[in-house]
Every structure is written in structure tokens, then in C-alpha cells.
């Protein structure tokens, strides 16, 4: 993805309506028809198998791997537990090189494992860890690189792997935003040693709460299976201090229905995304996303950057939109490196992270979800244009 500059100056934009309209939130989860889910609930009520690897769990795990085009998936209760467990499965310790531009769970998973995060800056076009800055952050304590496919934009995985191979490091990807994304060669989830997914309510693909680890071989899958189930191998054998990371039958049953709907969800997201690009193209100073690194993209977020060339600041625009009942989100502000448990780290200094700091001060993710209407997109675009016009007239 690259942020692109608008090329045209707009004609006069009519002011947004003054009467308060329905709220538009940054996202609204897709859900299958309730009757279909009630059928799933009937199955669960009949079987009384609620969790611990029941039939819906098995079916969803298999269907998921097939749909995503990966070797193996291991289901989890959420993406954070999946990431904590992925690090344990690879026995990662010491220092891990990662990005400050992500949801805080990315780095929290390191602290939960007593690992020291080392932040390196991101690339301006993808918002992902800049591979060319990784080498200078490597120390004798470095064990791994933790990349994030931010907003679903693929990391430069080949370059990252090359560096990891040179220094004998493991590579883990936080693919919480990257459900269904492909690059040249297939699913982006195939990269690295392990990749995690999140199926949280706010994600492109949700199971209310949920997550997964994508892994390349059956042996690792078995190990992760033990780690997410207290370390149990059988009734009397515990091989690790595992956690309870299991996904329940309700979440897995919902996942099966969501998989069935996902292609049409993507089509609707794509149409709205393209409508945004068209509607906002005429606003100079507003940088729009172009997801050009994915061969198939998932349209998970619509991040715009409000640069100094725009009439008002990001925070002013954010506040003005809120007054119009439009609730974009500043994903990701503050940077992870600015939170209290990270800001004392030498790698957290803002002058070492100039690109991430700037993007974080400029970004707003605009509302984008499959049930949004073209009228909603027009309303958001109109509100942005009139915020700018009003400021210009003041
Ligand atoms: N790595 C990355 C890169 C991530 O982005 C995340 C999660 C993780 C790891 C961890 O995965 P999980 O452990 O969560 O599986 C949200 C989510 O809570 C979080 O899952 C997500 N990233 C993060 C980017 O965003 P908030 O604080 O923005 O959520 P919230 O509750 O303010 O919701 C935003 C809007 O969504 C609401 O205004 C309305 C709508 N919404 C939300 C929920 C929860 C609904 O319509 N229904 C709902 O049930 O954090």
C-alpha cells in the first residue's frame, strides 16, 4: 500500500447537513442470518459438546486452512493468546525486533513472555516494519523478528527472511489484519515460522472473539495444540506450562458460517473502498491508501493521512467528524512505544521512529464495513470536505 496525493482541487462542496444523523462507527461486524446460527446452536444443544476440540472446532479448523490456502491452522480464543503461544512454541526469548505501529497487543505478547521489544521504524508506504532498519537493531540477544501486516498490507517478507537467515533469527508475523490477503506466491500467512490471526468482532472476519496460528507442519501444530490446552497430551501427561487458549464450539460454528459468506463480504468492502478513493481524490493534503503490494487485498481498513497540506489537523478533523456522528478511529495513535510500559526503552525514543511518529499523528481510519451503504460513504466524504471548507472560511 502507498498513500497517494490527490491530484485535483475540488469544486465547491455543499456543507454537511446540520441535523444529527445516525452514528457511523469505524466498523460494524458482519453476521450471518440469525436462523443459520440458530441451526448451529441446535447442533451444540443436541451434542452438549461445548468446547475442548469438538466437531465444529475440527470442521472450522480444516475449512479455514483450506479457504486460506495454508498447510495448518490452530484455532484460538483470541489473537493475543495466539501470539503469546506462538512465541512460546518457538521458544523465543531475549530481544525481539518489532514495529511500534500496531495495536498494543503485538508488543504486550512479548512482555507476557518476558521478551524485550526492540522497536524499529516503519516504511511510509506500507506502514510496516522497514526491513532496511532491522540489521542495525540486531544484538547478541536478538532471537526473532515480529512483523505486522498492518491494515492487511503484506510485509516485505522475502527481505525479512533473508535477514533472519543471515543472523539465525526466527520470524513471526502478526497477521491480525491480513485474513485472506495474498501476495505473489499465495497467502501472506505462509511467511515466516508462524503467523497469527485475530477473529475479533472488529476484524474483516469475526467469530465474536477468536484467533488462530498458521503453521507449516503437523508436528508444530501438535505442539501448539498442547500449549493452548494447559500442556495436556493426555489425561495424565502434561508436557508444558500451557495456557487455556481454546476456541469454543459456538465461536467455531459461527466461523463456519462466516467462511461461507466471506467472498461476498469482500466484494462489498471492495466496492465501498473504491467509492471512498473516488470521493476523496479531490482533497489535496489528504493521503489515500493504495494497497498495491497485495495481489488480493481484504479492504480491512481505510486509513487516510491528514497532512499539513490539508486545511485542518488530524485531531481537528477527527473531532469535527465526531460532531457529525461519524466515528473514525486513530489506529494507531499513540504508538505502542509511547505507552508507559514501553516508553523507557532506548528504541522507543521518538527521534528513532520518525516515520511511525508522523503517520501516527496524521492517520484516521474511516468507517468501512460491509453493511455500509454508498450513501454512508458519501456522507463521510461530504463531512470531510465541509470540515475543510469551514476551516478555510474561518
Ligand atoms: N494484533 C493486531 C495488529 C491487532 O489489531 C489486534 C487487535 C490484535 C493483535 C489482538 O487480537 P485480539 O486478541 O483482539 O483477537 C479493537 C479490537 O478490540 C482489537 O481486537 C483490534 N486489534 C483493535 C485494532 O481494535 P477498539 O478499542 O478499537 O474496539 P472498540 O470496542 O472501540 O470497537 C470499535 C468499533 O467497532 C466500535 O465503535 C463499534 C464497533 N463494534 C465493536 C465491537 C467490539 C461493534 O459494532 N461491535 C462490537 O462487538 O479495539
Q: Which helix (H) or strand (E) holds 319?
A: helix 314-323
On the question of pLDDT at 14 being above 50, the answer is no
CA–centroid distance, 362 to ligand 1, in Å, is 20
How are beta strands 211-215 and 72-76 bridged, if at all? antiparallel
Ligand 1 center to residue 68 CA distance, Å?
A: 22
Torsion of CA 306, 309, 310, 312, to 10 degrees: 90
146 C-alpha to center of ligand 1: Å? 20
Q: 391 vs 339, which has greater pLDDT?
A: 339
pLDDT band at 71 (very low <50, low <70, confident <90, very high): very high
The ligand 1 atom at the shortest distance from the C-alpha of residue 82 is: 13
Task: Kindly state whether residues 198 and 65 are assigned to the same domain.
Answer: yes
Please tell me the residue having the least CA distance from ligand 1 atom 24.
103
Tell me how far the alpha carbon of residue 26 lies from the centroid of ligand 1, in angstroms: 10
Burial class (CB in 10 A: 0-12, 13-18, 19+), 358: middle
- Which burial class, exposed, middle or buried, applies to 355 when counting CB atoms under 10 A from its CB (0-12, 13-18, 19+)? middle
Q: What is the CATH number of the domain that holds 146?
A: 3.40.640.10
- Higher pLDDT among residues 295 and 191, named by residue: 191
Q: Which residue's CA is the closest to the ligand 1 atom numbered 26?
A: 202
What is the domain extent for residue 79?
A: 34-258
Together in a domain, 59 and 24: no
Statement to judge: residues 83 and 13 lie in one domain: no
Q: Which residues line ligand 1 (CB under 6 A)?
A: 25-29, 78-80, 102-103, 105-106, 148, 174, 176-177, 198, 200-202, 211, 327, 329, 331
Which residues, at least 6 apart from 336, have a Cβ–Cβ distance to it below 8 Å? 99, 100, 101, 102, 104, 106, 107, 117, 119, 342
Whether 295 and 380 share a structural domain: yes
**DSSP 8-class letter at 325:** T
> Taking residues 45-52, what's their average pLDDT?
98
What is the count of structural domains for the chain?
2
Shared-domain flag, residues 84 and 196: yes
Domain boundary among 258, 290, 309: 258
User: From the CA of 238, how far away is ligand 1's center (Å)?
Assistant: 34
- Per-residue model confidence (pLDDT) at position 76: 98
Are residue 188 and residue 304 in the same domain, yes or no? no
Question: 210: left (phi > 0), else alpha (psi -120 to 50), else beta?
Answer: left
Backbone angles phi, psi at 7, to 5 degrees: -105, -20
Over the stretch 74-97, which tens digit does the pLDDT of each residue have?
A: 999 999 999 999 999 999 999 999
Residues 20 and 46 in one domain: no
Residues 6+ apart with CB under 8 A from 348: 100, 119, 337, 338, 342
Q: Is the peptide bond before 332 cis (omega within 30 degrees of 0)?
A: yes
Same domain, 98 and 208: yes
Is 297's pLDDT higher than 90? yes
What is the overall mean pLDDT for the chain? 94
Name the domain boundary from 203, 225, 258. Answer: 258
Q: What is the CATH number of the domain that holds 316?
A: 3.90.1150.10
Choosing from 258, 273, 304, the residue where a domain stops is: 258
Q: Are residues 105 and 184 in the same domain?
A: yes
Please tell me the residue having the least CA distance from ligand 1 atom 49.
Answer: 201
218 plus 292 within the same structural domain:
no
Whether residue 167 is found in the same domain as residue 233: yes
CA distance 280 to 290: 13
Q: Are 52 and 391 in contact (CB under 8 A)?
A: no
Distance CA 14, CA 358 (A): 31
Atom number in ligand 1 closest to CA 102: 3
> Do 289 and 171 lie in a common domain?
no
Q: Are 126 and 155 in contact (CB under 8 A)?
A: yes
Read off the pLDDT of residues 50-63 as tens digits, 9 standing for 90 and up: 999 999 999 999 99
Ligand 1 center to 372 CA (angstroms) = 18
- Phi first, then psi, for residue 105 (nearest 5°) are -60, -30
- Give distance in angstroms: CA of 329 to centre of ligand 1: 11
Query: What is the residue whose three cell numbers read 465501498?
Result: 272
Amino acid at each position: 500500500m502507498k498513500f497517494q496525493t490527490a491530484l485535483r482541487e475540488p469544486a465547491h462542496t455543499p456543507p454537511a447537513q446540520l441535523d444529527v444523523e445516525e452514528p457511523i462507527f469505524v466498523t460494524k461486524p458482519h453476521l450471518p442470518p440469525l436462523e443459520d446460527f440458530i441451526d448451529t446452536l441446535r447442533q451444540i444443544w443436541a451434542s452438549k459438546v461445548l468446547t475442548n476440540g469438538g466437531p465444529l472446532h475440527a470442521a472450522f479448523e480444516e475449512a479455514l486452512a483450506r479457504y486460506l490456502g495454508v498447510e495448518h491452522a490452530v484455532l484460538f480464543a483470541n489473537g493475543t493468546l495466539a501470539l503469546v503461544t506462538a512465541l512460546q512454541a518457538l521458544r523465543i526469548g531475549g530481544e525481539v525486533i518489532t514495529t511500534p505501529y500496531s495495536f498494543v497487543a503485538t508488543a504486550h505478547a512479548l512482555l507476557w513472555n518476558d521478551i524485550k521489544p526492540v522497536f524499529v521504524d516503519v516504511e511510509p508506504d506500507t506502514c510496516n516494519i522497514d526491513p532496511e532498519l532491522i540489521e542495525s537493531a540486531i544484538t547478541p540477544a536478538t532471537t526473532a523478528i515480529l512483523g505486522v501486516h498492518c491494515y492487511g498490507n503484506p510485509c516485505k517478507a522475502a527481505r525479512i527472511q533473508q535477514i533472519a537467515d543471515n543472523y539465525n533469527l526466527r520470524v513471526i508475523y502478526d497477521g491480525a489484519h491480513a485474513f485472506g490477503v495474498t501476495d505473489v506466491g499465495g497467502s501472506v500467512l505462509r511467511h515466516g515460522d508462524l503467523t497469527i490471526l485475530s477473529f475479533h468482532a472488529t476484524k474483516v472476519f469475526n467469530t465474536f472473539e477468536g484467533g488462530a496460528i498458521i503453521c507449516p507442519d503437523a508436528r508444530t501444530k501438535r505442539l501448539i495444540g498442547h500449549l493452548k490446552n494447559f500442556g495436556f497430551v493426555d489425561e495424565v501427561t502434561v508436557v508444558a506450562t500451557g495456557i487455556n487458549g481454546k476456541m469454543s464450539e459456538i465461536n467455531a460454528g459461527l466461523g463456519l458460517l462466516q467462511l461461507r459468506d466471506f467472498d461476498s463480504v469482500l466484494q462489498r468492502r471492495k466496492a465501498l473502498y473504491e467509492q471512498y478513493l473516488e470521493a476523496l481524490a479531490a482533497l489535496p493534503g489528504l493521503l489515500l491508501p493504495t494497497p498495491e503490494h497485495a495481489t488480493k487485498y481484504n479492504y480491512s481498513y481505510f486509513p487516510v493521512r491528514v497532512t499539513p497540506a490539508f486545511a485542518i489537523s488530524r485531531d481537528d478533523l477527527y473531532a469535527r467528524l465526531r460532531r457529525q456522528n461519524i466515528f473514525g478511529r486513530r489506529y494507531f495513535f499513540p504508538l505502542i512505544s509511547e505507552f508507559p510500559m514501553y516508553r523507557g526503552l532506548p528504541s522507543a525514543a521518538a527521534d528513532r521512529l520518525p516515520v511511525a511518529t508522523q503517520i501516527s499523528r496524521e492517520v484516521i481510519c474511516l468507517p468501512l464495513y460491509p453493511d455500509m451503504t454508498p450513501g454512508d460513504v458519501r456522507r463521510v466524504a461530504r463531512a470531510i470536505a465541509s470540515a475543510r471548507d469551514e476551516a478555510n472560511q474561518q
